[in-house]
Amino acid sequence: MGYPAFAAWAKDHHVCGLTCRGPLTFHPGAVGKKITLSHGNCRASRDLETFRDGLVFSSRPVKSREKVKFRVERSLLAWSGGVRIGFTNVHPAAGPLPPMTIPDLTNRLGYGVKQVPQSYCSPGSMITFWMDPTGKLCYKTSTGTFDCIQTNLNLSRPLWAIIDVYGQSTTVFLLGSIRRTSLIIQKSCPVPRGTFKCGYEDTPPELNKRIEMSQNKKKQYQEAQSNNGSSLTSGCRQEELCAVCLDHEADLTLLCGHRCLCMPCADRVLAEFGTCPLCRQNI
Protein backbone atom coordinates (compact mmCIF):
# COMPACT_ATOMS: atom_id res chain seq x y z
CA MET A 1 0.00 0.00 0.00
CA GLY A 2 1.62 3.26 -1.12
CA TYR A 3 1.61 6.38 0.98
CA PRO A 4 -1.24 8.19 -0.89
CA ALA A 5 -3.41 5.08 -0.69
CA PHE A 6 -2.69 4.65 3.02
CA ALA A 7 -3.40 8.34 3.67
CA ALA A 8 -6.82 8.02 2.03
CA TRP A 9 -7.56 4.81 4.00
CA ALA A 10 -6.44 6.41 7.27
CA LYS A 11 -8.66 9.42 6.66
CA ASP A 12 -11.71 7.23 6.05
CA HIS A 13 -11.05 5.10 9.14
CA HIS A 14 -9.82 7.91 11.41
CA VAL A 15 -6.56 6.17 12.31
CA CYS A 16 -3.19 7.74 12.89
CA GLY A 17 -0.81 4.97 11.72
CA LEU A 18 -0.39 1.39 10.56
CA THR A 19 -0.64 0.03 14.10
CA CYS A 20 -3.56 2.26 15.14
CA ARG A 21 -6.97 0.71 15.72
CA GLY A 22 -8.71 4.06 15.53
CA PRO A 23 -10.27 6.10 18.34
CA LEU A 24 -12.06 4.37 21.19
CA THR A 25 -14.59 6.47 23.11
CA PHE A 26 -17.96 5.93 24.72
CA HIS A 27 -20.86 5.55 22.28
CA PRO A 28 -22.74 8.91 22.36
CA GLY A 29 -25.96 7.29 21.14
CA ALA A 30 -26.18 4.61 23.83
CA VAL A 31 -25.83 5.89 27.40
CA GLY A 32 -27.77 5.28 30.59
CA LYS A 33 -30.42 7.82 31.57
CA LYS A 34 -28.25 9.19 34.42
CA ILE A 35 -24.96 9.39 32.47
CA THR A 36 -23.28 12.53 31.14
CA LEU A 37 -20.39 12.19 28.67
CA SER A 38 -17.54 14.72 28.46
CA HIS A 39 -13.89 15.09 27.42
CA GLY A 40 -14.49 13.91 23.87
CA ASN A 41 -16.86 11.16 25.08
CA CYS A 42 -14.03 9.57 27.09
CA ARG A 43 -15.39 10.51 30.53
CA ALA A 44 -18.71 9.13 31.81
CA SER A 45 -20.28 10.61 34.95
CA ARG A 46 -23.39 9.28 36.69
CA ASP A 47 -25.92 11.32 38.64
CA LEU A 48 -25.08 11.13 42.37
CA GLU A 49 -28.72 10.65 43.35
CA THR A 50 -28.80 7.06 42.05
CA PHE A 51 -26.56 3.98 41.87
CA ARG A 52 -28.06 2.73 38.58
CA ASP A 53 -28.78 3.87 34.99
CA GLY A 54 -25.04 4.19 34.37
CA LEU A 55 -24.58 2.03 31.25
CA VAL A 56 -22.03 3.05 28.63
CA PHE A 57 -20.69 1.22 25.56
CA SER A 58 -17.65 1.48 23.30
CA SER A 59 -18.09 3.66 20.24
CA ARG A 60 -16.89 0.86 17.96
CA PRO A 61 -16.57 -2.92 18.09
CA VAL A 62 -13.42 -4.35 19.66
CA LYS A 63 -11.58 -7.57 18.81
CA SER A 64 -10.82 -10.55 21.00
CA ARG A 65 -7.58 -9.91 22.92
CA GLU A 66 -8.12 -6.15 22.52
CA LYS A 67 -7.69 -4.92 26.09
CA VAL A 68 -9.88 -1.99 27.08
CA LYS A 69 -8.57 0.17 29.92
CA PHE A 70 -10.34 2.72 32.09
CA ARG A 71 -9.78 4.61 35.34
CA VAL A 72 -12.27 5.06 38.16
CA GLU A 73 -12.08 8.78 38.97
CA ARG A 74 -14.89 9.55 41.41
CA SER A 75 -16.91 7.53 43.94
CA LEU A 76 -19.71 8.09 46.45
CA LEU A 77 -19.67 6.17 49.74
CA ALA A 78 -23.44 6.51 50.12
CA TRP A 79 -23.84 3.66 47.61
CA SER A 80 -22.51 0.09 47.51
CA GLY A 81 -21.13 -2.10 44.75
CA GLY A 82 -18.41 -1.83 42.12
CA VAL A 83 -18.47 -1.24 38.37
CA ARG A 84 -19.59 -3.99 36.01
CA ILE A 85 -17.66 -4.73 32.81
CA GLY A 86 -18.38 -6.92 29.80
CA PHE A 87 -19.09 -7.26 26.09
CA THR A 88 -22.07 -7.70 23.81
CA ASN A 89 -22.85 -8.89 20.28
CA VAL A 90 -25.89 -6.57 20.25
CA HIS A 91 -25.45 -3.11 18.75
CA PRO A 92 -25.57 -0.60 21.65
CA ALA A 93 -28.15 1.60 19.93
CA ALA A 94 -30.48 -1.33 19.14
CA GLY A 95 -33.05 -0.41 21.80
CA PRO A 96 -33.76 1.30 25.14
CA LEU A 97 -31.23 0.63 27.87
CA PRO A 98 -32.23 -1.01 31.16
CA PRO A 99 -31.16 0.37 34.58
CA MET A 100 -28.44 -2.26 35.28
CA THR A 101 -26.30 -4.82 33.51
CA ILE A 102 -26.91 -7.44 36.20
CA PRO A 103 -29.49 -8.96 35.87
CA ASP A 104 -31.15 -6.76 33.24
CA LEU A 105 -28.64 -7.51 30.45
CA THR A 106 -27.21 -10.83 31.64
CA ASN A 107 -30.69 -12.36 31.31
CA ARG A 108 -30.55 -11.64 27.56
CA LEU A 109 -28.81 -13.52 24.77
CA GLY A 110 -25.67 -11.86 23.42
CA TYR A 111 -24.35 -10.29 26.63
CA GLY A 112 -21.51 -11.26 28.95
CA VAL A 113 -20.97 -9.15 32.07
CA LYS A 114 -18.97 -9.48 35.28
CA GLN A 115 -18.82 -7.34 38.41
CA VAL A 116 -15.55 -5.89 39.67
CA PRO A 117 -15.74 -5.88 43.51
CA GLN A 118 -15.92 -2.38 44.96
CA SER A 119 -12.70 -2.98 46.90
CA TYR A 120 -10.89 -2.73 43.53
CA CYS A 121 -12.83 0.34 42.36
CA SER A 122 -11.58 3.12 44.62
CA PRO A 123 -10.82 6.48 42.96
CA GLY A 124 -7.65 6.26 40.89
CA SER A 125 -7.98 2.50 40.27
CA MET A 126 -7.16 1.25 36.77
CA ILE A 127 -9.13 -1.67 35.31
CA THR A 128 -8.35 -3.51 32.06
CA PHE A 129 -10.75 -6.03 30.55
CA TRP A 130 -10.88 -8.12 27.39
CA MET A 131 -12.30 -11.21 25.68
CA ASP A 132 -9.84 -14.06 25.20
CA PRO A 133 -10.01 -16.33 22.09
CA THR A 134 -11.89 -19.03 24.04
CA GLY A 135 -14.81 -16.73 24.89
CA LYS A 136 -13.72 -15.87 28.43
CA LEU A 137 -14.32 -12.38 29.81
CA CYS A 138 -11.23 -11.39 31.80
CA TYR A 139 -10.17 -8.37 33.81
CA LYS A 140 -7.10 -7.17 35.66
CA THR A 141 -6.88 -4.36 38.20
CA SER A 142 -4.04 -1.97 38.99
CA THR A 143 -3.40 -4.01 42.16
CA GLY A 144 -2.71 -7.12 40.08
CA THR A 145 -6.01 -8.90 40.73
CA PHE A 146 -7.00 -11.09 37.78
CA ASP A 147 -10.26 -12.97 37.12
CA CYS A 148 -12.18 -14.56 34.22
CA ILE A 149 -15.63 -16.01 33.52
CA GLN A 150 -16.77 -18.08 30.56
CA THR A 151 -19.36 -16.45 28.27
CA ASN A 152 -21.49 -17.62 25.34
CA LEU A 153 -20.63 -14.65 23.14
CA ASN A 154 -19.99 -15.21 19.43
CA LEU A 155 -16.45 -14.01 18.73
CA SER A 156 -17.03 -14.14 14.96
CA ARG A 157 -19.55 -11.31 15.32
CA PRO A 158 -18.84 -7.68 16.36
CA LEU A 159 -18.19 -7.14 20.07
CA TRP A 160 -18.89 -3.86 21.86
CA ALA A 161 -17.40 -3.22 25.28
CA ILE A 162 -19.74 -2.44 28.19
CA ILE A 163 -19.07 -0.52 31.40
CA ASP A 164 -21.80 -0.11 33.99
CA VAL A 165 -20.88 2.92 36.12
CA TYR A 166 -22.60 1.32 39.07
CA GLY A 167 -22.77 1.54 42.85
CA GLN A 168 -20.08 3.61 44.54
CA SER A 169 -18.34 4.47 41.25
CA THR A 170 -19.72 7.70 39.80
CA THR A 171 -17.16 8.75 37.15
CA VAL A 172 -14.92 6.65 34.89
CA PHE A 173 -12.45 7.72 32.22
CA LEU A 174 -11.80 5.56 29.14
CA LEU A 175 -8.05 5.34 28.51
CA GLY A 176 -8.11 3.43 25.21
CA SER A 177 -7.16 -0.09 24.17
CA ILE A 178 -4.23 -2.25 23.12
CA ARG A 179 -4.11 -5.53 21.18
CA ARG A 180 -1.01 -7.66 21.00
CA THR A 181 -0.51 -10.47 18.49
CA SER A 182 2.55 -12.49 17.61
CA LEU A 183 3.40 -10.05 14.82
CA ILE A 184 2.21 -6.61 15.86
CA ILE A 185 1.02 -4.40 18.71
CA GLN A 186 -2.01 -2.26 17.90
CA LYS A 187 -3.35 0.61 20.01
CA SER A 188 -6.30 2.95 19.84
CA CYS A 189 -5.69 6.62 19.06
CA PRO A 190 -4.13 8.47 22.00
CA VAL A 191 -6.66 9.98 24.40
CA PRO A 192 -6.35 13.76 24.88
CA ARG A 193 -4.92 14.53 28.29
CA GLY A 194 -7.21 16.09 30.85
CA THR A 195 -6.86 17.06 34.48
CA PHE A 196 -9.43 15.64 36.86
CA LYS A 197 -9.01 15.12 40.58
CA CYS A 198 -9.77 11.55 41.61
CA GLY A 199 -11.58 11.22 44.93
CA TYR A 200 -14.90 10.87 46.73
CA GLU A 201 -18.07 12.90 46.24
CA ASP A 202 -20.07 14.58 49.00
CA THR A 203 -23.47 12.97 49.53
CA PRO A 204 -26.27 15.25 48.23
CA PRO A 205 -28.59 16.49 51.03
CA GLU A 206 -31.72 15.05 49.42
CA LEU A 207 -30.09 11.62 49.16
CA ASN A 208 -29.12 11.82 52.84
CA LYS A 209 -32.79 12.39 53.73
CA ARG A 210 -33.88 9.38 51.67
CA ILE A 211 -31.26 7.17 53.28
CA GLU A 212 -32.28 8.28 56.78
CA MET A 213 -35.90 7.35 56.02
CA SER A 214 -34.82 3.99 54.63
CA GLN A 215 -32.73 3.29 57.74
CA ASN A 216 -35.83 3.72 59.88
CA LYS A 217 -37.72 1.30 57.66
CA LYS A 218 -34.85 -1.18 57.85
CA LYS A 219 -34.99 -1.07 61.65
CA GLN A 220 -38.67 -1.94 61.46
CA TYR A 221 -37.85 -5.01 59.34
CA GLN A 222 -35.15 -6.09 61.75
CA GLU A 223 -37.48 -5.71 64.73
CA ALA A 224 -40.19 -7.69 62.93
CA GLN A 225 -37.75 -10.50 62.18
CA SER A 226 -36.55 -10.53 65.78
CA ASN A 227 -40.13 -10.73 67.09
CA ASN A 228 -41.29 -13.33 64.57
CA GLY A 229 -38.23 -15.54 64.83
CA SER A 230 -38.13 -17.88 61.82
CA SER A 231 -41.74 -17.33 60.73
CA LEU A 232 -40.69 -15.47 57.57
CA THR A 233 -39.76 -17.69 54.65
CA SER A 234 -36.56 -16.97 52.79
CA GLY A 235 -36.57 -16.57 49.03
CA CYS A 236 -32.77 -16.90 49.02
CA ARG A 237 -30.50 -19.12 51.05
CA GLN A 238 -28.72 -17.20 53.79
CA GLU A 239 -25.28 -17.93 52.34
CA GLU A 240 -26.16 -16.30 48.99
CA LEU A 241 -24.78 -12.90 48.09
CA CYS A 242 -26.69 -9.65 48.20
CA ALA A 243 -28.61 -9.19 44.94
CA VAL A 244 -27.47 -5.56 44.69
CA CYS A 245 -23.74 -5.38 45.45
CA LEU A 246 -22.86 -9.08 44.91
CA ASP A 247 -20.12 -8.58 47.50
CA HIS A 248 -21.67 -9.28 50.91
CA GLU A 249 -23.86 -12.03 52.31
CA ALA A 250 -27.61 -11.39 52.16
CA ASP A 251 -28.77 -11.04 55.76
CA LEU A 252 -32.01 -9.00 55.68
CA THR A 253 -35.39 -10.59 55.00
CA LEU A 254 -38.00 -8.27 53.49
CA LEU A 255 -41.72 -8.50 54.21
CA CYS A 256 -42.22 -10.35 50.90
CA GLY A 257 -40.03 -13.15 52.30
CA HIS A 258 -36.97 -12.65 50.11
CA ARG A 259 -33.63 -12.62 51.95
CA CYS A 260 -31.55 -10.95 49.26
CA LEU A 261 -30.03 -7.78 50.75
CA CYS A 262 -27.00 -7.12 52.90
CA MET A 263 -27.33 -4.46 55.57
CA PRO A 264 -25.26 -1.78 53.74
CA CYS A 265 -27.32 -2.16 50.55
CA ALA A 266 -30.67 -2.24 52.35
CA ASP A 267 -30.53 1.51 53.01
CA ARG A 268 -29.73 2.22 49.37
CA VAL A 269 -32.39 -0.07 47.89
CA LEU A 270 -35.10 1.23 50.19
CA ALA A 271 -34.12 4.82 49.38
CA GLU A 272 -33.76 4.32 45.62
CA PHE A 273 -36.36 1.71 44.68
CA GLY A 274 -38.77 1.05 47.51
CA THR A 275 -39.30 -2.45 46.05
CA CYS A 276 -37.77 -5.91 46.52
CA PRO A 277 -34.92 -6.38 44.01
CA LEU A 278 -36.23 -9.87 43.17
CA CYS A 279 -40.03 -9.74 43.02
CA ARG A 280 -40.45 -5.92 42.74
CA GLN A 281 -43.09 -6.01 45.47
CA ASN A 282 -43.46 -2.68 47.25
CA ILE A 283 -41.64 -2.55 50.58
Instruction: Tell me the DSSP string of 105-168.
Output: TTTSTTEEEEEPPGGG-STT-EEEEEE-TTSEEEEEETT--EEEEE----TTS-BEEEEE--TT
Of all residues in the chain, the percent with pLDDT exceeding 90 is 52
Task: Tell me the pLDDT of the chain averaged across its residues.
Answer: 84
CATH of 3-200, one of 3.30.230.70, 2.50.20.10, 2.60.120.920, 2.70.70.10: 2.60.120.920
Check if the beta carbon of residue 87 is closer than 8 Å to that of residue 131: yes
**Would you say residue 137 has pLDDT above 60?**
yes
Judged by average pLDDT, the poorest of 75-89, 232-246, 251-265 is 232-246
pLDDT of residue 6: 34
Asked whether residue 29 carries a pLDDT value surpassing 80, the answer given is yes
Q: What is the pLDDT of residue 229?
A: 56
Quick one: pLDDT at residue 222? Answer: 67
Q: Is the pLDDT of residue 227 over 60?
A: yes
Statement: residue 235 has pLDDT above 60? no
Give me the sheet containing 160-164, strands edge to edge.
Answer: 26-31, 55-58, 160-164, 84-88, 111-115
Averaged pLDDT for residues 244-264: 79
Q: What mean pLDDT is predicted for residues 235-239?
A: 45
What is the structure's pLDDT at 279? 79
- pLDDT class of 3 with cuts at 50, 70, 90: very low
Q: Is the pLDDT of residue 12 over 70?
A: no
Least-confidence region, from 32-36, 59-63, 102-106, 171-175: 102-106
pLDDT of residue 153: 96
pLDDT at res. 127: 98
Give the least confident one: 76-90, 96-110, 219-233: 219-233
Within the chain, all domains assigned CATH 2.60.120.920 are found at 3-200
Asked whether residue 234 carries a pLDDT value surpassing 50, the answer given is: no
pLDDT recorded at residue 232? 40
Using CA atoms, how far apart are residues 176 and 195, in angstroms rounded to an integer?
17
Region 248-258: mean pLDDT is 80
Residue 209 has pLDDT above 90, yes or no: no
